[in-house]
């Protein structure tokens, strides 16, 4: 079963008299264990597509399945539970909860899942050690650097072993070295633990690491390229496919 299935998804909205086609008929399948980037210029619909896959937004039409679960028709509570159990998020601005320590932030989803405290602590401790932030367990977000916060955010995203981790421009607020280290870390998690990652990015360094790159232009997939393959020009093929 794929981690993510996106079938003919559109997200249109009104901006005054204009209809903005943020995502316009995207179909995409992401298998478990993929390390995929969604690339494209600003306004191409990367973040909107990520929000749709993460069930933060609802499509105007089309079908989205996360780990086999169709998002259509789910109640707000069921959607919240789906996000809790199947999706991890890494935000551009880290978005750690400032009143929680690093470990408490990372434990947040596990607590929502009612994982016993001892098990939570054990899992977070191992994860922090693996991510090289073992000394930050009791640190407050306000006292951490951007790179440290983003590592904690990654720990939070993968702690509950979701079907997919969605990272919206995760390196955009980081310097080159820190960004590189973060992407290496995520790549390692992908290789060693099979965590499925989908990034939105226009950072060449991240794109270079990605094993699959989907390019969006004007809300449509322009190309879908796996490492070692030549870019498949989806937009050019589209009329024939239809």
Mode of pairing for the β-strands spanning 35-39 and 212-217: parallel
Minimum CB distance to another protein, residue 223 (Å): 26
In angstroms, what is the minimal distance from the CB of 153 to another protein?
10
Choose between 111 and 175: whose C-beta lies nearer to another protein. 111
Supply the minimum distance, in Å, between the C-beta of residue 148 and another protein. 18
CA–CA separation, 118 and 25 (whole Å): 46
Query: In the complex, what is the shortest distance from the CB of residue 64 to another protein, in angstroms, rounded to a whole number?
Result: 14
Q: What three-state secondary structure class fits 156?
A: helix
Helix/strand/coil for 222 = strand
- Closest CB to another protein among 111 and 184? 111
In terms of Cα–Cα distance, which of 145, 144, 154 is closest to 101? 144
User: With respect to another protein, which residue has the nearer C-beta, 57 or 130?
Assistant: 57
Q: Where on the chain is the footprint of another protein (CB under 8 A)?
A: 51, 54, 56-57, 76-77, 80-81, 83-85, 89, 91, 95, 97-100, 103-104, 107-113, 117, 120, 156
DSSP 211: S
Phi/psi at 21 (5° precision): -100, 80
Q: Which residues lie closer than 8 Å to 34 by C-beta, 6 or more apart?
A: 3, 196, 197, 198, 211, 212
Tell me how far, at minimum, the Cβ of 14 lies from another protein, in Å.
Answer: 15
Would you give the DSSP letter of residue 144?
A: S
Cα 49 from Cα 58, distance rounded (Å): 10
Which residues are 20's β-sheet partners? Answer: 13
When the beta carbons of 137 and 207 are compared against another protein, the nearer one is 137
Please identify, using beta-carbon distances, which residue of 98 and 239 lies nearer to another protein: 98
Please, what is the minimum distance in Å from the beta carbon of residue 36 to another protein?
Answer: 20
Cβ nearer to another protein, comparing 97 with 238: 97
How far is C-alpha 181 from the chain's CA centre? 18
């Amino acid at each position: 079963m794929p981690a993510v299935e996106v079938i003919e998804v559109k997200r249109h909205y009104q901006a005054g008299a204009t209809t903005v086609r943020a995502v316009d008929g995207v179909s995409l399948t992401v298998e478990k264990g993929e390390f995929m980037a969604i690339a494209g210029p600003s306004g191409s619909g990367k973040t909107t597509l990520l929000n749709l896959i993460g069930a933060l937004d609802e499509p105007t039409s089309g079908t989205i399945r996360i780990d086999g679960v169709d998002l259509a028709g789910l109640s707000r509570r069921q959607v919240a539970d789906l996000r809790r159990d199947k999706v991890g998020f890494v935000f551009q601005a880290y978005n750690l909860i400032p009143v929680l320590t690093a470990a408490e932030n990372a434990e947040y989803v596990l607590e929502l899942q009612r994982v016993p405290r001892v098990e939570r602590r054990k899992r977070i401790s191992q994860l922090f050690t693996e991510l090289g932030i073992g000394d930050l367990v009791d640190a407050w977000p306000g006292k951490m650097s951007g790179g440290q916060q983003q590592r904690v955010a990654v720990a939070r995203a993968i702690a509950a072993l979701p079907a997919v981790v969605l990272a919206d421009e995760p390196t955009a607020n980081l310097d080159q070295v820190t960004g590189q280290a973060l992407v290496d870390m995520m790549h390692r998690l992908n290789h060693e633990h099979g965590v499925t990652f989908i990034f939105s990015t226009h950072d060449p360094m991240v794109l270079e690491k990605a094993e699959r790159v989907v390019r969006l232009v004007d809300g449509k997939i322009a190309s879908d390229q796996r490492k070692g393959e030549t870019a498949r020009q989806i937009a050019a093929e589209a009329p024939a496919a239809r």
